[in-house]
Amino acid sequence: MRIAVLGTGSVGQTVAVRAAELGHQVTIGTRDVTVTRAGEFAGWAAQHPEVGLATLSEAAGAAELVVNATSGSGSLPALAAAGAPNLAGKILLDIANPLDFGAGFPPSLSVHNTDSLAEQIQREFPQTRVVKSLNTLTAELMVHPRQLADGAHSVFVSGDDAEAKRVVTDLLTSFGHTDVIDLGDLSTARGTEMLLPLWLRLYGRLDTAIFNVKVVR
């Protein structure tokens, strides 16, 4: 697949490298290519020539699947910069969390309970097929789940489009996920986004981000 990863941070980098390793044609999208190339991204990019760099709109426009790996607060602006026409008909895998660091650590959520970031994105881009997933995991485990308990833990997908969820589930399976739970429509993303407050406390307690929940049933 041609995959655009929106977001130049460590989460975007980690997902981009793994997808490229699996044979996908991957381009990271950024607001300003010149600025990104001049920053600390440059060192990473030099080590990963297999991953392209383009503007948000170019990356999204050329992709079949777009990964939202921007920060929660930056997601809607970044997607607006990518452009609704470039996202129309595409699968948007939303892995962001609406974390609000205004009051320090642990952050609270800027949207929650009766709405979610995923639903905000879907409302803003009704022609795009939004699937929420992977946001309950640290980046390393998103793409290398087998490094923890040989993959014996769970990940969730939420979305209104069954075919888009199937494509995302196949991608997760190729990453090594063994227990992909389809929660239902996109409103179920409220559940996985609201897992973050517990995730953050566990992170504080376990002194590592290499953990995950397994749904034992």
Question: Which residues are at the interface with its own copies (CB under 8 A)?
Answer: 103, 108-109, 112-114, 148-149, 152-153, 156, 181-184, 188, 190-192, 194-195, 197-202, 204-206, 208, 210-217
**Based on CB atoms, which residue is closest to its own copies, 31 or 112?**
112
- The distance of Cα 172 from the centroid of its chain, to the nearest Å, equals 11
**Based on CB atoms, which residue is closest to its own copies, 88 or 152?**
152
Give me the least distance between CB of 120 and its own copies, in Å please.
16
Task: Determine phi and psi for 95, rounding to 5 degrees.
Answer: -110, 10
**Based on CB atoms, which residue is closest to its own copies, 93 or 109?**
109
Q: Which residue, chain included where needed, has tokens 């980690």?
A: 14
Give me the least distance between CB of 130 and its own copies, in Å please.
17
| Pairing mode of beta strands 154-159, 129-133 | antiparallel
**Based on CB atoms, which residue is closest to its own copies, 58 or 193?**
193
CB 15 within 8 A of CB 95: yes
Give me the least distance between CB of 101 and its own copies, in Å please.
13
Give me the least distance between CB of 118 and its own copies, in Å please.
13
H/E/C letters for each residue in 151-184?
Answer: HCCEEEEEECCHHHHHHHHHHHHHHCCCEEEEEE
